[in-house]
């Protein structure tokens, strides 16, 4: 029998943490963070990390576990989260997975490899772009056709960006782009999961994001990033997160603090849009809720969860 788990997903600043704490207290749950940046020690303000006080109220996992100098991959998350779910379930508790990193959540819920989400290889990408400029888009498409006919059949030769991505994925992972696309429609569910999707009006969400960024600066984001830069190399994965990477040019005196702040807000809004697109297109959401505008509807959600947990 598959383990029962509750999953809470949604864009940044939509209220995932608040809901997770409430549900964990009600259903004797323990929370597993599905956020790619909260795993790092010292990245507190910029990641809107759950506070130490909140962690005293409810047990949290995969928060503050590794040094910002270390790398953390989706495979690491999947292995750790899987083991945690088994342990939490064995102790009679309810595992609650919370996060906005769609790649992580999907990898945990479904049997997919995510080769299609390979990190961009900018050097190889530039090589392919140069080849297309010198030989034409058709020739580059023919290269894809010789490697992955099924992918070439579904990608027009003029769609240069898509052709390059298909070749890039094969070069990076050794897997055919077409086979990875098939995973999207033939995904095996690994858990009996009730997946809660949180959303709200787009303008309201963007306003909340802007306010959150301002609050981060009030809380000391500048000092947090300055402290990290003293011990963490610029190439570290941890410094590529939103709220951190935008401040590096500021400390190098390339841009003003105001410009860096606006970039953080803009990148956060864009990320929120991508998050919503990911969850809507790649995951099976049990039900969508807007608790920003209608917090009273949480009772309806809890009624659904009661039925789910008894089944």
Does residue 89 have a known ligand-binding role? no
Name the domain boundary from 152, 183, 214. 183
Does residue 10 have a known ligand-binding role? yes
pLDDT at 136 over 90: yes
Residues 86 and 198 in one domain: yes
Residues 297 and 163 in one domain: no
Name the domain boundary from 164, 183, 202. 183
The DSSP-derived string for the chain is -PPEEEEEE--TTSSHHHHHHHHHHHHTEEEEE--SSTTBTT--TTTTPPPHHHHHHS-EESSS-B-TTS---HHHHHHHHHHHHHHHHHTT-EEEEEES-HHHHHHHHB----GGGPPP-HHHHHHHHHHHHHH-HHHHHHHHHHH-HHHHHHS-TT-HHHHHHHHHHHHHHS--HHHHHHHTTSPPB-SEEEEEEE---HHHHHHHHHHHHHHHHHHTHHHHHHHHHTTS-TT-GGGGSTTTGGGHHHHTTSS-HHHHHHHHHHHHHHHHHHHHHHHHHHS--SEEE-TTT-GGGHHHHHHHHHHHHH-
Residue 258 banded pLDDT, cuts 50, 70, 90:
very high
Residue 120 banded pLDDT, cuts 50, 70, 90:
low
Domain count, the chain: 2
- Mean pLDDT on 104-115: 79
Residues 78 and 196 in one domain: yes
pLDDT of residue 77: 94
pLDDT of residue 153: 86
pLDDT at 150 over 90: no
Name the domain boundary from 136, 154, 183. 183
pLDDT at 190 over 60: yes
Burial label for 255, CB within 10 Å (0-12, 13-18, 19+), is middle
- The per-residue pLDDT of the chain, averaged, comes to 92
Residue 182 banded pLDDT, cuts 50, 70, 90:
low
Answer for the pair 115, 180: CB distance below 8 angstroms, yes or no. Answer: yes
Cα–Cα dist 301/287, whole Å: 8
Q: What is the dihedral of CA 48, 53, 56, 59, to 10 degrees?
A: -10
Residues 94 and 172 in one domain: no
Does residue 29 have a known ligand-binding role? no
Does residue 92 have a known ligand-binding role? no
Does residue 25 have a known ligand-binding role? no
Does residue 295 have a known ligand-binding role? no
Residue 289, strand partner residues: 198
Cα–Cα dist 116/183, whole Å: 10
Residues 87 and 199 in one domain: yes
pLDDT of residue 119: 58
Does residue 120 have a known ligand-binding role? no
Per cent of the chain over pLDDT 70 is 95
CATH code assigned at 202 = 3.40.50.300
Burial label for 3, CB within 10 Å (0-12, 13-18, 19+), is middle
pLDDT at 112 over 90: no
Residues 154 and 205 in one domain: no
Top pLDDT among 278 and 46 is at 46
Top pLDDT among 103 and 62 is at 62
- Mean pLDDT on 242-253: 96
Residue 186 banded pLDDT, cuts 50, 70, 90:
low
Residues 145 and 220 in one domain: no
Residue 116 banded pLDDT, cuts 50, 70, 90:
very low
Residue 151 banded pLDDT, cuts 50, 70, 90:
confident
pLDDT at 23 over 70: yes
Domain of 91, in residue numbers:
4-112+187-310
CATH code assigned at 179 = 1.10.20.140
pLDDT at 90 over 50: yes
Cα–Cα dist 245/259, whole Å: 13
Q: What is the pTM of this model?
A: 0.80
Top pLDDT among 116 and 172 is at 172
Residue 290 banded pLDDT, cuts 50, 70, 90:
very high
Does residue 94 have a known ligand-binding role? no
pLDDT of residue 242: 96
Q: What is the dihedral of CA 222, 228, 229, 233, to 10 degrees?
A: -150
């Amino acid at each position: 029998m598959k383990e029962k788990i509750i999953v809470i997903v949604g864009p940044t600043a939509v209220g995932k943490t608040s809901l997770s704490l409430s549900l964990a207290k009600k259903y004797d749950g323990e929370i597993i963070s599905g956020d790619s940046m909260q795993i790092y020690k010292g990245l507190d303000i910029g990641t809107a990390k759950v506070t130490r006080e909140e962690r005293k109220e409810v047990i949290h996992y995969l928060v503050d576990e590794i040094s910002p100098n270390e790398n953390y991959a989706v495979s690491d998350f999947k292995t750790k989260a899987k083991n945690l779910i088994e342990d939490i379930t064995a102790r009679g508790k309810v595992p609650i997975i919370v996060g906005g990193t769609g790649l992580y959540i999907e990898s945990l819920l479904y049997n997919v490899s995510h080769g299609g989400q390979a990190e961009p290889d900018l050097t190889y990408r530039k090589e392919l772009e140069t080849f297309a400029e010198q030989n034409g888009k058709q020739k580059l498409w023919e290269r894809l056709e010789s490697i992955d006919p099924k992918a070439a059949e579904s990608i027009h030769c003029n769609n240069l960006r898509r052709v390059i991505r298909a070749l890039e994925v094969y070069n990076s992972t050794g897997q055919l782009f077409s086979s990875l696309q098939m995973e999207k429609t033939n995904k095996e569910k690994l858990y009996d999961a009730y997946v809660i999707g949180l959303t709200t009006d787009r303008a309201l969400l963007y306003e909340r994001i802007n306010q959150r960024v301002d609050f981060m600066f009030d809380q000391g984001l500048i000092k947090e990033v300055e402290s990290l830069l003293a011990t963490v190399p610029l190439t570290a994965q941890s410094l590529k997160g939103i709220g951190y990477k935008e401040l590096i040019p500021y400390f190098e005196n390339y841009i003003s603090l105001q410009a860096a702040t606006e970039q953080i807000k803009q990148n956060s809004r864009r990320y929120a849009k991508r998050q919503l697109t990911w969850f809507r297109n790649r995951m099976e959401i049990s039900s969508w809720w807007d608790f920003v505008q209608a917090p009273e509807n949480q009772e309806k959600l809890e009624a659904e969860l009661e039925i789910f947990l008894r089944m």
